[in-house]
Structures are given as C-alpha cells and as structure tokens.
Amino acid sequence: MTIDRSRIMSAELRSKIMSAEDAAALVPHGANVGMSGFTGSGYPKAVPLALARRIEAAHARGETFRIGVWTGASTAPELDGALAKVNGIELRLPYQSDPITRERINAGAMEYIDIHLSHVAQFVWFGFLGHLDVALVEVTAILPDGSLVPSTSIGNNKTWLDQADKIILEVNSGMNPALQGMHDIYYGTRLPPHRKPIPILGPGDRIGETHFRCDPAKVIAVVETNAPDRNTTFSAPDATSKAIAGHILEFLGHEVRRGRLPAELLPIQSGVGNVANAVMAGLEDGPFTGLTAYTEVLQDGMLNLIRSGKMALASATALSLSSEAAILFNRELDSLRNRIVLRTQEISNHPEVIRRLGVIAMNGLIEADIYGNINSTHIRGTSIMNGIGGSGDFARNAYLSIFMTPSTAKAGAVSAIVPMVTHVDHTEHDVQIIVTEHGLADLRGLAPKQRAAIIIDKVADPSFRPALKDYFDRACRFSPGKHTPHLLEEAFRLIKRG
C-alpha cells in the first residue's frame, strides 16, 4: 500500500498518525460512532475492519462489545458487513443494504432505525438520537490549518465532526486530489427558532465552504489508507427497464408540450439502482438538453449525461459509480469539478430546497397498491429490505413525484401492484405517477376509485389484472365505506401465481 504522507499537512495532526488497530482500540464498547459513507463511497476502509477483529476477539473471551453505527446511507462489506458478521452492531441508522446486516435486523439481533435522510443531521443536533461519541470519517487530505478535504461522499460527515466528542480520521491516498473544490459544506443551519432560509435558488448554487472545519483537539487518531471505494455494479438496461424509461420520457415530453414543464425540464432526482440508471440512459438518447440534477447520488447514467453535454450540472451528496465510470470520472475530474457539486445530505435532501427548485423525483418501490400507496422498504410488511433513504424527502416535496418498478417480482410469480400494501412508506398523497413496463398511471387530480381503475388498467401486469379487478369490483360492492373500498379480510392475501 503506497501512502502519500504529503496529504497530511497539519503538523499537529501528523503527530497523531497510528495504525488502524491502535485507532480501533480507542473506540469503547457501547459507543455511538458516526461513520462516513454513502452508497459505497467515502466510507472508512481500515478502522472498521480492525474494530471488527477487536470485537470478535472480545466476544471470544466472553466479553460483550457492541457499538451503534450511524452513517450517511449504505456503506460497504468492509464496514457494515464486517461489523455485522461479528455481531458488533447494537443499533444501525439510517439506511443499509448489506445482506448480513439485513439478516441480523430481521432476526431481531440488531436494532435498526429507518429514518428520512434529511432528518438525521437535525435529529442529532436536537439530541433526539442520543449522544455521539466518536466520528470516524474518511477524507482526501488534511490542510495545514487542520481543515479537511472531503472524499467521494459527504453525507452526514459535517454533523459527525461537529457533534462527536472524539474524531478518528482516515486519510485515503487513493482518492483523487482533484476532488478538492468540488464540495460545498454549508455552515448556516441553526436550531429552531433561529433558522433562516437555505439560500439555494438553483441546483448549482454554492453557499458554503469547500472543506470541513475540524477541531484538532478532538482528533484522537489519524490513519493512513490507500484503497478504492466499493464500486457499484449496474446491469445493462433490459427490455423492462427500457420500457419504463420510455414511458417516463414520453410523459415528460407530453408535459413540455402542455406547458407544464420547461423545455429543459426541471432539476432531476433519481434514486439508486438499475431502473433509475436506465432512465438516465434514456434521457441521454432523448430530446432534452440543458438538464440539471438536484439529487442524492450521482450514478453512471447521470455522469454520462454530464459528459455528453446533455446535463449542464448536477448537485448530489455522493458518487455511486461502476468501476468503468469511476475511471472516467477520475480521468476527467478537472473538467467535471465545475459541473458537479457534492453537498451535505441535510442540504441535498432539504425539503425547502426541493420544493423551491421544483424537482422531478423518480424513485423505486417494492409494491404499490391500487390506490397509490407505496411500500419501498418491507417484504411482507415485517422484514426490512434497505430503508426509506431519501425517497420521502423528495416525493413529498417534488414538483412531480414518480415511482417506478417492474410490474412483477420473483420471475413473474408476485405482482408489484397489490390490493393493499403491507407497509406504507409513501401515502397516496405523495404519489403522483406510477410507472411499470406496461404503462404510466398519472394519478394527479383523481379520487381514490379513479386512481384504482387507472393503476390496474395501466401498470399492473396483464396476468394479474383480472384478480385485481375482481377484488376492486367486489370491494366497491361490499366494503362498508365507499370512498376507498377495501375487503380487509382479503386485502393482505398477496396476489401470486401457483
């Protein structure tokens, strides 16, 4: 591992360099640790692994050793996976995607708080989540005055550095030094009743500083690393995702022609995953130019839009790139730096800004019901999948709130459109448009029974439509209430084949 010692320019903090094992030894049992990381970018690479080894050794001696892990969003196997594998996490928040972590949560062996991403930082400042003991944050460099150049994600790092009693820094020589200047760290937030408007009028507005402030006296360890992020793997767009993208592009074109969208659209937010990436690929081939993005995560499709000139600029809190896209990003970073802004997630997901800018929000789902309620987090109502992430921040405040999914799961055995969702993350009040490969249901201005008819007709898989229509027809006849008719004794019998 090649270490660039010149990345640590503060003599005071250079004196605190130590091994990952020595740094991990400074984290006590029961501590709440705020760790960097957002969708596999910018997470600490060495100390969590050393901490997992320490926890495993403690458990082998019959000692209890577990910590609380707070992050920006999902991280990587070297963090979530390693700590979950040794049963080292007592409580996790706010979003996760690691299979071992998910298994622990659903087995009842790990507590998990699923929380809107825009709420995390302010809840920590409010004191709602308890005390933050340690911040463990990856950075690109330490400047002479002790301030910190962020890495490939920002997430909640500003809050961790501000609120934690003690700070452990990982300085990653593997991060491109040209990242310096891409970030926008806003220090103007206040606690009620002293809040002021967030002064962002356009997606590219810079309102903060390019580095983190850091109190050197709180830094207890500096660990040097040289390791890449966990790059995301995207599947090539298949026929289903291309069809979904096509329906959305047709709809956006229709809205432009009706005068309800400008020709260059409005700022785009896109959730993570293959379908979302396929929509971005569709936009690259589509007629729209001068696009902008105000989103959480910049994926391959959005990077391609920027590189092609179709998208003028993008604001996010993290990168989530494939290996191939990461190579292109680093190769062209000097030219990309002025067209990409990475912000704290309390600003990238801020409801005030999202509503002011008129964001077009596009997110995925697990299941939708015939009235437009969305479950994006749970399987069969009880088992967590990943978490709500930032979809709620955007859906409730967007100019257009779009949810998209393939119409079936489990090789066609399960319908994504059901009579009643088994868990509600986004109520019908926050959902305007639902899209599957079969079509697009525009729910704006429709009453519940009207919504049900169009959802069944436009987006349900044809093989499930007869069962859904039968349920809806009987509910309209026999439900005690006729506003949102349901047969509650039948509603949670998931529609399956076989």
CATH of the domain at 477: 3.40.1080.10
In terms of domains, do 426 and 470 share one?
yes
Please give the pLDDT value at position 285: 85
Catalytic residue among 138, 224, 296, 346: 296
**Contacts of 277 by beta carbon, 8 Å cutoff, 6+ apart:** 234, 237, 270, 299, 300, 301
Q: What is the pLDDT of residues 11-36, one digit of tens each?
A: 999 999 999 999 999 999 999 999 99
Measure the CA–CA gap between 172 and 151, rounded to whole angstroms. 8
Picking from 225, 256, 278, the residue at the C-terminal end of a domain is 225
Question: Does 289 have pLDDT greater than 90?
Answer: yes
pLDDT band at 276 (very low <50, low <70, confident <90, very high): confident
Q: Which has the closest alpha carbon to 371: 458, 443, 464?
A: 443
Tell me: is residue 366 an annotated ligand-binding position: yes
Report yes or no on 234 lying in a domain. no
Torsion of CA 454, 460, 464, 465, to 10 degrees: 20
In terms of domains, do 260 and 210 share one?
no
Report yes or no on 496 lying in a domain. no
Please give the pLDDT value at position 498: 42
Q: Which has the closest alpha carbon to 317: 482, 430, 436, 159?
A: 159
Picking from 179, 194, 225, the residue at the C-terminal end of a domain is 225
Question: Does 232 have pLDDT greater than 80?
Answer: no
Report yes or no on 150 lying in a domain. yes
Q: What is the pLDDT of residues 339-350, one digit of tens each?
A: 999 999 999 999
Q: pTM for the whole thing?
A: 0.95
In terms of domains, do 178 and 251 share one?
no
Alpha-helical runs (H) found in 332-464: 333-336, 345-348, 351-357, 391-395, 448-458
In terms of domains, do 482 and 336 share one?
yes
Residue 463 φ then ψ, to 5°: -70, -20
Q: Name the DSSP class of 92.
A: E
In terms of domains, do 24 and 108 share one?
yes
The reply to whether 296 belongs to the active site is: yes
The greatest distance separating any two alpha carbons of the chain, rounded to the nearest whole angstrom, comes to: 77
Picking from 198, 225, 252, the residue at the C-terminal end of a domain is 225
In terms of domains, do 407 and 266 share one?
yes
> Which helix (DSSP H) or strand (DSSP E) does residue 167 occupy?
strand 166-172
Report yes or no on 183 lying in a domain. yes
List the beta strands (DSSP E) in 85-165.
Answer: 89-93, 111-112, 134-142, 148-150
Report yes or no on 401 lying in a domain. yes
In terms of domains, do 215 and 263 share one?
no
Tell me: is residue 274 an annotated ligand-binding position: yes
In terms of domains, do 41 and 118 share one?
yes
Report yes or no on 177 lying in a domain. yes
Measure the CA–CA gap between 158 and 168, rounded to whole angstroms. 14
Q: How many domains is the chain built from?
A: 2
State the DSSP string of 218-271. GEEEEEEE---------PPP-HHHHHHHHHHHHHHHHHHHTTSS-TT---EEE-
Tell me: is residue 134 an annotated ligand-binding position: no
Report yes or no on 495 lying in a domain. no
In terms of domains, do 122 and 266 share one?
no
Please give the pLDDT value at position 1: 63
Cβ atoms of 15 and 186 closer than 8 Å: no
In terms of domains, do 304 and 175 share one?
no
Cβ atoms of 184 and 207 closer than 8 Å: yes
Average pLDDT over residues 74-84: 96
b (16+ CB within 10 A) / e for 290-328: ebbbbbbbbbbbbbbbbbeebbbbbbbbbbbbbeebbeb
Q: What is the pLDDT of residues 160-202, one digit of tens each?
A: 999 999 999 999 999 999 999 999 999 999 999 999 999 999 9
Question: Does 373 have pLDDT greater than 80?
Answer: yes
pLDDT band at 495 (very low <50, low <70, confident <90, very high): low
Average pLDDT over residues 416-424: 97
Q: Return left, alpha or beta for 259; rule: phi > 0 is left, psi -120 to 50 is alpha, else beta.
A: left
Measure the CA–CA gap between 216 and 40, rounded to whole angstroms. 27
SS3 content of the chain, % helix, strand, coil (to 5): 35, 20, 45
Q: Which two tokens stand for residue 198?
A: 């967030």
Please give the pLDDT value at position 312: 97
Q: Compute CA distances 13 → 158, 160, 222, 328, whole Å.
A: 18, 18, 7, 33
Q: Which has the closest alpha carbon to 294: 411, 184, 194?
A: 184
Tell me: is residue 272 an annotated ligand-binding position: yes
Tell me: is residue 390 an annotated ligand-binding position: yes
Q: Which has the closest alpha carbon to 374: 451, 427, 338?
A: 427
Average pLDDT over residues 55-81: 97
Average pLDDT over residues 271-292: 87
Measure the CA–CA gap between 295 and 311, rounded to whole angstroms. 13
Q: Name the DSSP class of 178.
A: G
- Domain, as residue range, for 484: 239-490
In terms of domains, do 49 and 182 share one?
yes
Report yes or no on 479 lying in a domain. yes
Tell me: is residue 410 an annotated ligand-binding position: yes
Residue 237 φ then ψ, to 5°: -55, 125
**HSE toward the beta carbon, residue 205, CA cutoff 13 A:** 13
In terms of domains, do 153 and 200 share one?
yes
State the DSSP string of 13-49. HHTTB--HHHHHTTSPTT-EEEE--BTTBS--SSHHH
Strands 291-294 and 311-316: parallel
Tell me: is residue 273 an annotated ligand-binding position: yes
